[in-house]
Amino acid sequence: MKLIKTEDAVGCMLCHDITQIIPGVVKDAVFRKGHVVTREDIPVLLSVGKEHLYVWEKQEGMLHEDEAAEILRSVCQNAQMDASKPKEGKIELTAQCDGVLKVDKEKLCRINAMGQMCISSRHGNFPVKNGDKIAGMRVIPLVIEEEKMKQVKEIAGETPVFALLPFQKKKAAIVTTGSEVYHGRIQDKFTPVVRQKLEEYGVEVLGNTICNDEPDMVTEAVNDWIKKGAQMVVCTGGMSVDPDDKTPLAIRNASDEVITYGAPVLPGAMFMLAYKGEIPIMGLPGCVMYARRTIFDLVLPRLVAGERLQDQDFYRLGEGGLCLSCEVCTFPNCGFGKG
């Protein structure tokens, strides 16, 4: 930057805020750093006592904060995202649709470790709505080395730091197990809870089959719903390790691959996820029926967004996997599920 007379500053870019103070009326920046001075600005600048100004002097190998912020945007913005105009080296990204935010944590950490810039975002693997702010980024100094921003591009590579997986139109079926429900000895209170959670994400529930505790009956019900077009099947009941709880066996028999039986999440430790082809089959532990938030709330959005989960996705849930069962539930604006 360089110091010049205010009268000579037309067309130059300010390197700092210009504050105007009128006692009892205002104390605020009349011009922000980065503002390009016009001829009409000169009297105002002189009236606030600025006879000289620090302005940005273009130097070879240096980028203005807004130019550098655009580079940060280019390595962060992905499909289904809108970007704000750069202002004082800052840009924000917002969601264009409902979906699940994905964050490349390694890239994010490496870029932030470079210093003189920052990228901050919501937690990944959680749902966002159309119009939600999902990330913000800014360059700290007014100017920054062009070489440093080239390194940012190299870290990012071909894939942006963020991705937004839109929710897909899914069809699901519910298979309720338990001889006590099958024979009408007790009312089925599990299915309505599952149906409500599925419909929260726009999932069409094709129907519900009630089975006794025989695993063959449960397996047949799962396969029957898949033949009828179900794109995910949710099984309830009989998920513990007791000898008479045979739903896990039924899910194994109906699937091609079991991802997990058990997860480091409370409530929800006895959750099961398997796949028949690309169709997820879930076994829900009893806690989903009565606890406000469980592992089902962490997994369901990702499945509706079309993500195929692996065992590592569940191992990572240990940190943050303890729901505190707060008197007033603020999920997802809490620590549950955020490692």
Amino acid 243: pLDDT:
66
Q: Does one domain contain both 129 and 172?
A: no
Mean pLDDT taken over the chain: 93
3-state secondary structure of 276: strand
Lowest mean pLDDT among 3-7, 100-104, 244-248, 291-295: 244-248
Q: Which of 21-25, 39-43, 190-194 has the highest mean pLDDT?
A: 190-194
Residue 54 confidence (pLDDT) above 90: no
Residue 338 resides in a domain: no
**Model confidence pLDDT, tens digit, residues 178-232:** 989 999 999 999 999 999 999 999 999 999 999 999 999 999 999 999 999 999 9
Q: Does one domain contain both 177 and 296?
A: yes
Residues ≥6 apart with Cβ < 8 Å to 320: 335, 336, 337, 338, 339
Element housing 83 (H / E): strand 81-83
Domain with residue 149: its CATH number is 3.90.1170.30
Q: Does one domain contain both 91 and 188?
A: no
Domain with residue 242: its CATH number is 3.40.980.10
Give the whole-number percent of the chain exceeding pLDDT 90.
78
Question: In sequence order, which ranges of the chain are alpha helices (DSSP H)?
Answer: 41-47, 65-76, 105-112, 146-156, 179-182, 190-200, 215-227, 247-254, 287-290, 295-304, 311-315
Q: Does one domain contain both 183 and 284?
A: yes
Residue 302 confidence (pLDDT) above 80: yes
Residue 339 resides in a domain: no
CA distances from 103 to 83, 158, 242, 308 (A): 17, 15, 39, 16
Residue 324 resides in a domain: no
Q: Does one domain contain both 172 and 291?
A: yes
Q: Does one domain contain both 304 and 240?
A: yes
Residue 25 confidence (pLDDT) above 80: no
Rg of the chain in Å (alpha carbons): 28
Q: What are phi and psi of 174, to 5 degrees?
A: -115, 130
Q: Does one domain contain both 176 and 311?
A: yes
Mean pLDDT of 139-162: 94
Residue 321 resides in a domain: no
Lowest mean pLDDT among 127-131, 209-213, 245-249: 245-249
Q: Does one domain contain both 193 and 116?
A: no
Q: Does one domain contain both 235 and 155?
A: no
Q: Does one domain contain both 159 and 173?
A: no
Residue 277 confidence (pLDDT) above 90: yes
**Sheet of 204-211, strands arranged across:** 204-211, 171-177, 232-236, 279-284, 272-276, 257-261
Using an 8 Å Cβ cutoff, are 232 and 305 in contact? no
Amino acid 26: pLDDT:
59
**How far is it between the farthest Cα atoms of the chain?**
91
Element housing 304 (H / E): helix 295-304
Based on the structure, what is the number of domains in the chain?
3
Using an 8 Å Cβ cutoff, are 187 and 210 in contact? no
Domain that holds residue 6: 1-53
Residue 330 resides in a domain: no
What band does 244 get if pLDDT is binned at 50, 70 and 90? low
The domain boundary, picked from 164, 187, 204, lies at 164
Using an 8 Å Cβ cutoff, are 165 and 99 in contact? yes
Residue 326 resides in a domain: no
pTM (2 d.p.): 0.86
Amino acid 55: pLDDT:
83
Amino acid 34: pLDDT:
75
The domain boundary, picked from 129, 145, 164, lies at 164
Q: Does one domain contain both 258 and 295?
A: yes
What band does 75 get if pLDDT is binned at 50, 70 and 90? very high
Half-sphere exposure of 104 (CA within 13 A, CB side): 19
Residue 122 resides in a domain: yes
Residue 180 resides in a domain: yes
The domain boundary, picked from 134, 164, 194, lies at 164
Question: In sequence order, which ranges of 113-240 are alpha helices (DSSP H)?
Answer: 146-156, 179-182, 190-200, 215-227
Domain with residue 16: its CATH number is 3.90.105.10
Q: Does one domain contain both 173 and 269?
A: yes
Amino acid 177: pLDDT:
94
* β-bridge partners, 127: 100
